[in-house]
Structure 1
């Protein structure tokens, strides 16, 4: 059993490492250990002694592209199993979340955080977010892959001290992986980048880019993934949105509005990717949406496709 657990753990580590590379979180630190600052409160239920340390499976830090003058410290926990997700996942989820929340709490007082923040001291950054990411992944393909929807409304322990924790399950990981993989395989003549949305939170920092290779942590739990595709030969730009929601009249109208709003200054070329798109069933809906969205000021070129793949294939890459 010990050997099996070790192999499962190694697969989980490799999968997440490949996944982090795909989303631009390269040069991350792994297997970090930090001191526990609440030995009694953070003591494991089954442990005889007070807690002394917390393990961090992966740590990544970069300048936020969505908040002015802000450093994003990302503390990751990887939970990977060969079994199906629990039918009633609340108890196990609370265990995983509590463990990560306590790690984030002690990270905020750690030497790792202090040293990392010092590294950015001369870059104009004046604040930092300490964000947790829980990768709860299963190798079991037959069980329900969307575990987050089952735990999103549970009551959490009010004693936990953390700002934000993003949860990535099979369904969420598959959406991100399939989106990127489809673009890489089907638009090879383009360089692709994550589009960084501008708002009242990120318009003052001159070092914030409009697009780049690093996925903002906030996008991990978004149902829409925005990309800029730049043609390698002529630098022509297309704006791509991938949707976790199924194709419908409401969804395509919403994406058309969003795409035309955020990209009006750099392109009229739109690509929309959905989990499923059936030409026979959906093309009449698309034609109606395109007709109603017709922009008299410029020509709009709209392409709709379907993506499909399986993020578990990362293990074999």
Structure 2
């Protein structure tokens, strides 16, 4: 049993490492161990003080959504061959507790100090320490959206952490399928993640408008924004992939968002939905386009389904 558990765990870490490559998080450090700074509080078993915390994967990069900030990302991989529990709350709290305590001790670790020091001359003035829990299952028939079931769970008030993002099968599939769809269907264009601008990332001159690295905040977002740049003409297409099913409200919101965001670089839009069916939904798209009024004649809009089957050939 122990050997099988180890094999499943190693398989899960390989899956997540490859996923990190897809989202631009190349070079993540593996198998780091840090000293526990609160051995009694963090003990796993009663009367057995904890000495260390293991970090499955650690990734760090300059934030593109926060001025002068370094993102330190502590990643925990929980991978199982079994379905998600019917009632996942207790297992989720166990996973979160372990990761939160690891992040807490990471904040006082040599790993953090050494990593931050390597960015010392880059203009960064602060660091944000974030946990990411990849809670994944190899069981394809199980309920894939476990996050919705644990969204209202009350966590231990003694846990000390800033933020933790939880990626389940459904969220991982959405990100992976979105990136794969764009790469397979726009082969003449270079894919970049679009970085949203606001009050929190307005002053840093080294902040980019787009890049190959997905911000950690996007891992749990219901939309993924891309810039697709033609390598020969440099023409830009603004693409938004949406995790929600298609509706009149969702396409109207995305059209409004795309129009506001892209005024200075394109009028060419692509929208992706899990269930888009042109036979049923195209009239709704046309109606939403008309509501753009004077801009309706200047924009190019294409909508596709993330689900690949023969029905999608209508878009070819």
TM-score bin (small chain) = over 0.9
Match of 1:122 in 2: 121
Specify the SS of the correspondent of 1:135.
Answer: strand
**Mapped contact 2:290–2:296 kept (Cα < 8 A):** no
What is the correspondence of 1:102-181 to structure 2 with a 5 Å cutoff?
Answer: 102-181=101-180
Match of 1:230 in 2: 229
Deviation at 1:291, TM superposition (A): 1.1
Aligned length: 308
Deviation at 1:64, TM superposition (A): 0.3
Which fold has the larger relative contact order, with Cα–Cα distance below 8 Å and residues 6 or more apart in sequence?
A: 1
The verdict on how the C-alpha distance between 1:166 and 1:200 changes in structure 2, with shifts beyond 3 A counting, is same
Partner Cα separation in structure 2 for residue 297 and residue 174 of structure 1? 33
Match of 2:20 in 1: 20
Deviation at 1:48, TM superposition (A): 5.2
Partner Cα separation in structure 2 for residue 298 and residue 228 of structure 1? 22
How big is the alpha-carbon RMSD for the aligned residues of Structure 1 and Structure 2? 1.1
Partner Cα separation in structure 1 for residue 296 and residue 303 of structure 2? 22
The verdict on how the C-alpha distance between 1:260 and 1:296 changes in structure 2, with shifts beyond 3 A counting, is closer
What is the correspondence of 1:225-264 to structure 2 with a 5 Å cutoff?
Answer: 225-264=224-263
Match of 1:312 in 2: none
Q: Which runs of 4+ in 1 moved over 2 A?
A: 294-298
Partner Cα separation in structure 2 for residue 308 and residue 139 of structure 1? 20
Specify the SS of the correspondent of 2:202.
Answer: coil
**Mapped contact 1:89–1:150 kept (Cα < 8 A):** yes
Partner Cα separation in structure 2 for residue 295 and residue 289 of structure 1? 13
TM normalised by structure 2 equals 0.96
Match of 2:314 in 1: none
What is the CA deviation profile of residues 174-220 of structure 1, one whole-angstrom value per residue up to 9, with x for unaligned ones? 00000000001111110010000000010110111000000000000
Partner Cα separation in structure 2 for residue 219 and residue 118 of structure 1? 26
Alignment pair present for 1:193 and 2:196: no
What is the CA deviation profile of residues 203-245 of structure 1, one whole-angstrom value per residue up to 9, with x for unaligned ones? 1101110000000000000000000000112110000000000
**Mapped contact 1:182–1:308 kept (Cα < 8 A):** no
The verdict on how the C-alpha distance between 1:266 and 1:121 changes in structure 2, with shifts beyond 3 A counting, is same
Match of 2:88 in 1: 89
What is the correspondence of 1:208-227 to structure 2 with a 5 Å cutoff?
Answer: 208-227=207-226
Specify the SS of the correspondent of 1:290.
Answer: helix
Specify the SS of the correspondent of 1:201.
Answer: helix
Match of 1:205 in 2: 204
Specify the SS of the correspondent of 1:104.
Answer: helix
